[in-house]
Amino acid sequence: MEQQGLQLSDLYTLAPELTLVIAAIVISLIDLFIPKQVNRSLLGWLTLASIIVSGVFVSLQIGPTSLIDPANPESGELLNLLGGSYRVDNFANLLKLILLGSTGLIILMSIGSVKEEDIPHKGEFYYFFLPAVLGAMITASSGDLITLFVGLELLSITSYIMVGMRKKDHKSNEGAFKYAILGAVSSATILYGMSFLYGMSGSTNLMAINAALQQADPSFSALIYVSFFLLLAGFGFKIAAAPFHNWAPDVYQGAPTPVTAFLAVVSKAAGFAILFRVMYGVFYGNSGTPEHPIGEDAFFSLSVLAAIAMIIGNVTALRQKNAKRLLAYSGIANAGYLLVPIATQFSLVHYTNFSEFAYYLLAYALMNIGAFAVLLIIERSTGSSEIRGYAGLYYRAPWTAAAMVLLILSLAGIPVTGGFFGKLFILMGTLQNQTYWLAAIMLATSVVSYYFYFSIIRQMFMRSDESSPIRTTPTLGITIWICTIGTVAMGAYPQGVLGWIQDMFKLTRDLFIG
């Protein structure tokens, strides 16, 4: 049963989001009033605590029947807020757990690693993660174009500020400027595409738009195509998928490493949440006309975008000498892999697309955050993010090197790791749907990626002229090993993780199809 306004009882449903809002306000006030000589890492711990509390609230809400409308429990309908514009289903809850968990790990690796002389406003650095991840959570729950855009802009604007926090670094300033300008253009493109959908349907609700487009006059076909490609271009920027990726290497290189990790994982995951909602909420099932099969063309276009991202990301990474830029192109390639389960559509023979996507997204988050944590250690020790900084890491920090090897094996998709099974599940899905050309590109580009991933391993086992050991902070070490153990556990017990996701997610209820 839909509700037109917020009720007092809805506060519990919105507890994860409200926790972040309240925490951001309280921590910012604490930052204003505590003396300057007080270590701002305290604010980092408070920020991490608020992320954990928000995650606990999400965990209490997740489940097959935990959010069924109490006024009509037999219907199986979810308790939607604001007239169905804000959905708290298990699609959103599963993604929120990944978003919050990833942000928590990024904050953990930042505590004790962020230097005051590098980032003047250290307190702001910590609690700016809260509105950013709040925006990502809003996008995951959006069932309406307006709430979707509000969440996206909250995430984007906060990210622009975070990228430019190293005020004395010209690369950081350049990256923030590029990110803000191109981000504004992409947001305008998305908004323009949304305006076409609203004009044709008279509604901003995704389900209402889908119903209106299926009954639309055939003369509207051209406008539907225009709106789709405008949205695809805008969302392609947000997820850094080629050919909308040119901002990513410069922004990743210029931003503080924890912020780079946030952009690579949380911001990208939010973009995919939007794509899933829009593709299946608006364009799925839209047969159009025999001359213009809109739904089929939309998903085929997504497949082409996935193929381009995989090819360009992996091929361009081959010649990178900077670790941040290499991980940026790795992220572009992985955007392609994550697009594949969205593009292959649900069918009678294959309906586990979201489970495959969520599994690989979780593995991607763990292995990337772990890799960025190791990179942060290298930067602290050598003052550079060049790949040559890994030289001799095995001899200077053998345990850190061992963890990095496992993380790289997962990134490359080598058995038995979470990254391997994530790619395998996606590959099997494309084969079930007989999208053989896309499966072939997945295989070929994965093999190409071995070269640049293993180049880091080669560096780690080469003796370095620098004999001093690499020192790390306890928080960085904990982050690295949480990520390493997590990705190895996903490889050791893949069916358990995938099965749990499948138990939680129900297609007709959680993605509003049917």
SS3 per residue for 167-234? CCCHHHHHHHHHHHHHHHHHHHHHHHHHHHHHHHHCCCEHHHHHHHHHCCCHHHHHHHHHHHHHHHHH
In a domain? residue 142: yes
- What's the half-sphere exposure (Cβ side, CA atoms, 13 Å) at 288? 20
Q: CB atoms < 10 A from the CB of 109, how many?
A: 29
The reported pLDDT for the residue numbered 13 is 85
| Domain count within the chain | 1
Answer yes or no: is 3 within a domain. Answer: no
- Rounded CA gap, 75 and 71, in Å? 9
Residue 80: give the domain boundaries.
10-510
Q: What does each C-alpha distance from 278 to 227, 295, 347 come to in angstroms?
A: 12, 12, 18
Q: 263-266 — which CB contacts under 8 Å span 24+ positions?
A: 263/159, 263/163, 264/327, 264/328, 264/331, 264/368, 264/372, 265/102, 265/106, 265/364, 265/365, 265/368, 265/369, 266/99, 266/102, 266/103, 266/106, 266/132, 266/133, 266/136
Quick check: is 5 in a domain?
no
Is 4 contained in some domain?
Answer: no
Judge whether 494 lies within some domain: yes
Instruction: Please report the pLDDT score of residue 509 as a whole number.
Output: 72
User: Does the residue 85 lie in any domain?
Assistant: yes
* Residue 254 falls inside a structural domain: yes
**What are the beta bridge partners of residue 205?**
144
- pLDDT by position in tens, the chain (length 514): 344 556 666 788 889 999 999 999 999 999 888 887 777 788 999 999 999 999 999 999 887 655 655 555 544 556 677 777 888 888 999 999 999 999 999 999 999 887 766 676 777 889 899 999 999 999 999 989 999 999 999 999 999 999 988 877 788 888 889 999 999 999 999 999 999 999 998 889 888 898 888 887 777 888 889 999 999 999 999 999 989 998 999 999 989 899 999 999 999 999 999 998 898 888 887 766 566 678 788 889 999 999 999 999 999 999 999 999 999 999 999 999 999 999 987 766 677 888 999 999 999 999 999 999 999 999 888 878 888 888 888 888 889 999 999 999 999 999 889 999 999 999 999 998 888 999 999 999 999 999 999 999 998 887 665 556 677 889 999 999 999 999 999 999 999 999 999 888 877 777 754 4
In a domain, 2, yes or no: no
My answer on whether omega of the bond before 218 falls inside 30° of 0, hence cis, is: no
Whole-model pTM above 0.85? yes
From the number of C-beta atoms within 10 Å of its C-beta (0-12, 13-18, 19+), residue 465 rates as: exposed
d(CA 26, CA 220): 50
**The pLDDT value given to residue 513:** 46
User: How far apart are the two ends of the chain, measured CA to CA in Å?
Assistant: 16
